[in-house]
Amino acid sequence: MEGIDVVAVHIARLEALNRRPQSIRQRTYTLRHLERLAGPLLALTLDDLRGFVDRPSLGPEARNAQISHLRGFYRWALDEGLVEADPTLKIERPKRHKRFPRPMPTPSVARALALAENPIRQWLYLATYAGLRACEIAQLSGSDFVLHAEPPIVIIQEQKGGDSGQAVIGQALMAVAGELACRRGWCFPRGEGDPAGRSWGGHVTAHQVSSRTNKFLHAAGIPQTMHQLRHWFGTETNRAAEGRFRVVQEAMRHDSPTSTALYTKVEQVEIARALDTLPELGAAPAPEAA
User: Does 201 have pLDDT greater than 80?
Assistant: no
Residue 162 has pLDDT above 80, yes or no: no
* Fold category of 106-140+184-272 in CATH: hpI Integrase; Chain A (1.10.443)
Distances (CA, A) of 290 to 283, 287: 20, 9
Each domain of the chain, given as residue ranges in start order, spans 6-79, 106-140+184-272
Report the relative pairing of strands 145-146 and 153-156 from DSSP bridges.
Answer: antiparallel
The fold of 6-79 is: DNA polymerase; domain 1 (1.10.150)
Q: Please compute Rg for the chain using Cα positions.
A: 24
pLDDT at 188: 94
State the SS3 of 112-168: HHHHCCCCHHHHHHHHHHHCCCHHHHHCCEHHHEECCCCCCEEEECCCCCCCCEEEE
Q: Which of 74-83, 105-114, 244-253 has the lowest mean pLDDT?
A: 244-253
Whole-angstrom distance, CA of residue 150 vs CA of residue 215: 36
pLDDT digits (tens, 9 = 90+) for 28-53: 999 999 999 999 999 999 999 999 99
Residue range 51-65, pLDDT digits in tens = 999 999 888 888 988
Instruction: Confirm whether 6-79 and 106-140+184-272 share one CATH topology.
Output: no
Coil, helix or strand for 288?
coil
**What is the phi/psi pair of residue 146, to 5°?**
-110, 85
Query: Which of 44, 97, 93 is closest to 66 using CA atoms?
Result: 93
Would you state the pLDDT for residue 224? 96
Cα 142 to chain centroid distance, Å, stands at 22
Closest by CA to 53, choosing from 42, 74, 39, 67, is 67
